[in-house]
Structure formats: structure tokens, C-alpha cells
Structure 1
Amino acid sequence: MHHYTVRIFHSEDVSEAERDQAAQRFRTALDTSLGDASLVAPVYRAYLRLLQIHGDQLRPWDLDPSEQLLADQWEAAELAATQATFGAERYMGDAHFELEIPPP
């Protein structure tokens, strides 16, 4: 069960079925990279907190080792999901995604 929703946005004419397939590829890659679908929401929330605190600062951020591990894990998972979704679909090259995470 997914504890989040992926919305795919794009600038070209893509069918609802193609958009659904892209969202499924994104979820599968994200879940696999983080280890389980249940980890996506808490890891993403924690990453968003780091962005709120450090987002305006140049990288690397001044993080403790556990925060750095979390940031690295999220960024690697997001990259894997983005590549799985948009890399193979050239018509979605300008597309992007949005995660909708329910409140804790």
C-alpha cells in the first residue's frame, strides 16, 4: 500500500494512461530505492524539514551524520525515481512530479 500520491505534470499531450504508467514507475523506483513504500512519507517529511532549515544555504549543508544519511538517501531515491519515470519517456522530458503526503 502506498502512503503517498504521485502527480505527474508535463507540457505535452500525454494520455491519462501514460501519466498513470509514469506515476507507477516513479512509485516503484522510489519504494525500491528507499526499501519500502511505508518509508517514503517519513523520509520525505524529514527531508522537507532539512530543506526548510538549510535550503537557502549553499551545499554541502552543515548536517549531523544521521541527517546527512537521510538527505543522501532521499536524493538518491528521488533521482532513481525521476530517471525511471522521465528518462525512458522522451516526450515527458519537461515533465515534473509532485508528491502528496498525508499528514502524520
Structure 2
Amino acid sequence: MSYTLRIFHTDDVSAAEREAAAQRFRAALEASLGDASLVAPVYRAWLRLLLAHGEQDRPWDLNPAEQVLADQWEAAELAATRAAFGAERYMGDAHYELDIGDR
């Protein structure tokens, strides 16, 4: 399964800086999860957990397998956002969107 990544940023960031941030994001996300092919299924499973438990504060009441998945996604997302935007999110209001096709 493939995915599409979009980086959103403030107007003062060049297209080259945005592309570099996207490349860093992808590399860190895929490395953290172990392979590019795991991004879409892990993210899809995370979204299902979020839909089921999103109104509740963390930690959610998860079974052990769900907890491993949630921890995996959260660690990968943190690594990717830090790689793309820096620990201090140097790109201001920058954020990302993943499109994994049909959900």
C-alpha cells in the first residue's frame, strides 16, 4: 500500500524547504516503522483506534496488540515530525497530512 504525504507550511517557507521537509518526514517515518509498505496499514489501524477511543483521554483501554500498534505509530509520528520540522517546529505552523486512499 502506498501513501501520499502533504506538508503544509507558512508562506515564508520555500518550495525547496517544503520538499526537503517532506523527504525527511518520509525517511524518518518509514525507518521508524521498518518499511514504507507498513506506513499505510499501521496508520489505518491507528485511525481505527482513534475513532474508537478519541473522545477519551490517553491512555486508552487497549489490548496488548493494540497498545504495541499505538506506541509504534506515536513513536514513528514523533520521529517524522521532529525530522521534518525540528524539535522546535522551526517551520512555524507547519503540519502534515497523510492520504492512504480508501479507509
- TM-score normalised by length of structure 2: 0.92
Please report how far the alpha carbon of residue 11 of structure 1 lies from its aligned counterpart in structure 2 after TM superposition.
1.9
User: Which residue is 1:10 aligned to?
Assistant: 9
SS in 1 for 2:5: strand
The answer to whether the Cα contact below 8 Å between 1:87 and 1:93 also exists between their aligned partners in 2 is no
Paired residue type of 1:95: A
1:51 counterpart = 2:50: yes
Q: How far does residue 64 in structure 1 lie from its aligned partner after superposition?
A: 0.2
Find the counterpart in structure 2 of residue 19 from structure 1: 18
SS in 1 for 2:97: strand
Once the two structures are superposed, the pairs formed by residues 52-67 of structure 1 within 5 Å of their partners are 52-67=51-66
Q: How far apart are 1:12 and its partner, in Å?
A: 3.4
- Residues 8-56 of structure 1 show CA distances to partners (whole Å, capped at 9, x for unaligned) of 1112321212111111100000000000000000000000000000000
Structure-1 residue corresponding to 2:100: 101
* Distance across 1 between alignment mates of 2:34 and 2:42: 11
Matches of 1:38 and 1:16 in 2, distance apart? 27
Q: Which runs of 5+ in 2 are unaligned?
A: none
In percent, how many aligned pairs have the same letter?
73
**C-alpha distance in structure 2 between counterparts of 1:49 and 1:74, whole Å:** 12
Counterpart AA for 2:57: L
Number of residue-to-residue matches in the alignment: 102
Structure 1: gaps of 5 or more residues: none
| Structure 2: distance between partners of 1:103 and 1:37 | 18
C-alpha displacement at 1:93, in angstroms?
Answer: 2.9
2:80 aligned partner: 81
Give the TM-score, by structure 1 length.
0.91
1:34 aligns with 2:33: yes
Runs of 4+ in structure 1 off by over 4 angstroms are none
